[in-house]
Structure 1
Amino acid sequence: MSAHPQISWTEGEQTHTLRWQSENGTAAPKRVVVADDRMSADVAYRLVCEGTALLWRGDFQNARQLLQALARRIDRKPTKPRKQVAPVPTPIEAFHLHRQAQSQRARTLAMLLLPFDDNYVMPLRRAPDVRQACNEAYGAADGAFVVAMRELLGLIGAHEWRKKGVEIHALGDRIHPHYGVFSPVRGEYVQLVADAPLPSTKLAFDIGTGTGVLAAVLAQRGIERIVATDQDPRALSCARENIQRLGLSGQIEVLQTDLFPQGRAPLIICNPPWLPARPSSAIEYAIYDPDSQMLRGFLLGLAAHLTPGGEGWLILSDLAEHLGLRTRDALLEMIAVAGLKVLGRKDVKPHHPRAADVDDPLHVARSAEVTSLWRLTAA
């Protein structure tokens, strides 16, 4: 796919072409028709299911209602014959079926498209002012384009999260996540870092810092100097902004590097993506770690970057184990192969709503999930 993919459609007996915008790298739809307030939800649903995208020319709020109507039709459970009994899927089958369904759902809902003029202005009735949200996610405006409404709503939601922030009990303050940076809404893993006994207060490395939340917690616990690393430019910008706002820039240095900075530290922490699966978009790299690459990289490099007697803190959920994506024995083998030993482990049960949602396709695994802080050192 080219650096600037194009989308084409016919309108007023003329062919029009604009830049296609997709943060997830979704290919531009090949079939596009113009739609407005006169199109019914049933017709729209039939078209998008056939792979035809709808370029919206009507009222923005009506487009939002149409998207909700499409989602309801997608989520409607099929009627099954009474005597038909579907076999219960294994946890790993349930996971893959869930991801497949979510991917198909996302592709279908991404078929409702919105046009943008220069400077991030939508030429639609009752369109909100989204210029700041677009600037935060896309950078400076670069001409007219077309984007999926679903993506735009994600930008708006991320902008609101960035404005109000996420309350972090362990900090007694808020962290403000940027678009595309994993939000620390799972507070239990942050609390583990806040409660674990520190091996030293001199120096720590925070690998894959993201929003900078764990580096900030360590700084508030009195660690004199922290080096926080990440590869993603959005994460680096987010971490620097949060750290500056919290008044911790004198203690925390943010570096762009792959995993470890140079040197050794008595404490090195890492909260890698918890599920060893292939991401379907760039944003999902915060959740899915293909072939456990980041986890393996952290473990294999840890001993060489710890000072004698130093500790590595691995923050990891066992959800992958309950889904059949990784076994506990495989994790322990990774630790041993890396020349490490386990000093201890602190566990906590998650409290997020999905853990108690019996209608969640992954409820059995989520209800059994435990998040752990593994204290590791060189063997």
Structure 2
Amino acid sequence: MRHTVPTPANPAAEWRNESTQKPPAAAVYAREANAAQILKAAHADTATVWTGDFHNAKQVLSAVKKRVRGPKNSRPSENATDVQNDRSARAAAFHRHRMKQAQQSRIINMLAVEIGAGFTLDLPRASDVRAALIDVYGIENTEPFLLPLNQLLGFTGAHEWHKKGVYVPVLDARIHVPFGVFSPLRGEYLDLIAQAPLPENVQTAFDIGTGSGVIAAVLAKRGIPEIIATDTNPRAVKCAEANTDRLKTDARIRIETVDLFPENQTADLIVCNPPWLPAKPTSAVESALYDPDSAMLRAFLNGVKGRLNPHGEAWLIMSDLAEHLGLRAPDFLERCFQTASLTVAGVLKTKPQHGKAADTADPLAFARNLETTSLYRLKAV
């Protein structure tokens, strides 16, 4: 999101933020400030633009985060009996958590820096951020703009991960993912795709909402000769193309910029790993996690029967976290399958391995410790 924010030096300074947060009403420049001063200005809807030492800015940002979030062990999870047993109470706990996250994020993002033309950062001891910002924005800027420091650090961290890549055991290779594209850090669902029995004589496959292209790469490794991977996110399309080229699977995988299914084509196998939670995303990155009213999930299920070849299968990868959070009824998926004239030929299940699943201090631990990830093998009725 881009807005104009008045500053003492520029009445129409550009404010950039990758989230949907409301921009500050104004911004002031400061060579030095402590966390209390920055928070006071933030609560007055004024951002502080740091002009001093970059390392000092990072230390102050850390202090701001501690004040805003409090110590981790002071945030017990909502695991009371009424939350566990009452669906509406669980959903309310989730929405409170999301609201709190949004409020905290906006305050934290009130400490900013000015990015100069050509993605320069003219601060003492500042690192070179040009490559990281090109990763995010593509074309270099010709005019300066204001950027939350916390987001800048997120961009530079994402850029380092992009260069290093994420090791995917089922591929025995690395997938390289830039900022704005969902990263396959949770590998358990890829294990399910690698283990599920393929339809007999499978020759063609679709990977719907490919993101990084990792699922298409797993299907290629399993020997499927022709795969079409689709996505509407330009960053994802570019990322998937780069990964298929790097993995030398581009002869088998074709990337198409299209919503859901390739036009006028059918396949023996259609795989989709849609966003798992039916809630509103607050940034482009969250679009891979949150699917308002399960719109993508419904569209995939309602359209997939007409895209399957005879005896073909659709594989749906879903977590039941939404059910444990009270965001979906326990029989929601079953009803969706019936509406779409699909029957379940088999289910593979696994438990999540990521850190939050075992973190008892996580505010949503009451649901995370029950989560299961499933691969549903679906056939047309």
Q: Residue type of the partner of 1:162?
A: H
> Which of residues 3, 12, 17 in structure 2 aligns to 1:17?
12
The Cα offsets for residues 168-204 of structure 1, whole Å up to 9 and x where unpaired, read as 0110101011110000000000110001011043110
Identity of matched residues, %? 47
Q: Residue type of the partner of 2:51?
A: R
C-alpha contact 2:7 2:13 (8 A) present in aligned 1: no
Aligned match of 2:86:
none
1:76 to 2:70 alignment:
yes
Aligned match of 1:252:
253
CA spacing shift, 1:366–1:173, aligned 2, 3 Å: same
Aligned match of 1:327:
329
Residues 57-68 of structure 1: pairs in structure 2 closer than 5 A: 57-68=51-62
Distance 1:152 1:289 in 2: 26
CA spacing shift, 1:305–1:219, aligned 2, 3 Å: same
- Secondary structure of 1:268's aligned partner: strand
TM-score of the superposed pair, with normalisation by structure 2: 0.93
Unaligned runs of 5+ in 2: 75-79, 84-88
TM-score of the superposed pair, with normalisation by structure 1: 0.93
- Secondary structure of 2:159's aligned partner: helix
Greater CA drift, 63-72 or 276-285: 276-285
C-alpha contact 1:239 1:254 (8 A) present in aligned 2: yes
Distance 2:158 2:179 in 1: 5
1:362 to 2:373 alignment:
no
CA spacing shift, 1:311–1:6, aligned 2, 3 Å: same
C-alpha contact 2:267 2:312 (8 A) present in aligned 1: yes
Aligned match of 2:302:
300
Distance 2:380 2:34 in 1: 64
1:155 to 2:155 alignment:
yes
Q: Residue type of the partner of 2:362?
A: D
Distance 2:127 2:113 in 1: 12
CA spacing shift, 1:365–1:25, aligned 2, 3 Å: closer
Residues 24-43 of structure 1: pairs in structure 2 closer than 5 A: 24-37=19-32, 39-43=33-37
Aligned match of 2:101:
102
Distance 2:206 2:183 in 1: 20
Distance 2:292 2:190 in 1: 24
Aligned match of 2:139:
140
Aligned match of 1:176:
176
- Secondary structure of 1:254's aligned partner: strand
Aligned match of 2:123:
124
- Secondary structure of 1:9's aligned partner: coil
* RMSD, aligned α-carbons: 1.7
- Secondary structure of 1:10's aligned partner: coil
- Secondary structure of 1:107's aligned partner: helix
User: How many angstroms does 1:16 deviate by?
Assistant: 4.6
User: How many angstroms does 1:87 deviate by?
Assistant: 9.5
- Secondary structure of 1:373's aligned partner: strand
User: How many angstroms does 1:130 deviate by?
Assistant: 0.7
Aligned match of 1:274:
276
Greater CA drift, 90-99 or 180-189: 90-99
Distance 1:375 1:233 in 2: 29
> Which of residues 332, 353, 363 in structure 2 aligns to 1:351?
353
Distance 2:244 2:153 in 1: 27
C-alpha contact 1:134 1:155 (8 A) present in aligned 2: yes
C-alpha contact 1:219 1:226 (8 A) present in aligned 2: yes
C-alpha contact 1:201 1:222 (8 A) present in aligned 2: no
C-alpha contact 1:91 1:362 (8 A) present in aligned 2: no
1:111 to 2:110 alignment:
yes
The Cα offsets for residues 201-226 of structure 1, whole Å up to 9 and x where unpaired, read as 31100000000000000001100000
Q: Which structure would you say has the larger RCO, counting Cα contacts within 8 Å and 6 or more residues apart? A: 2
* Count of equivalent residues: 367
Distance 1:351 1:117 in 2: 42
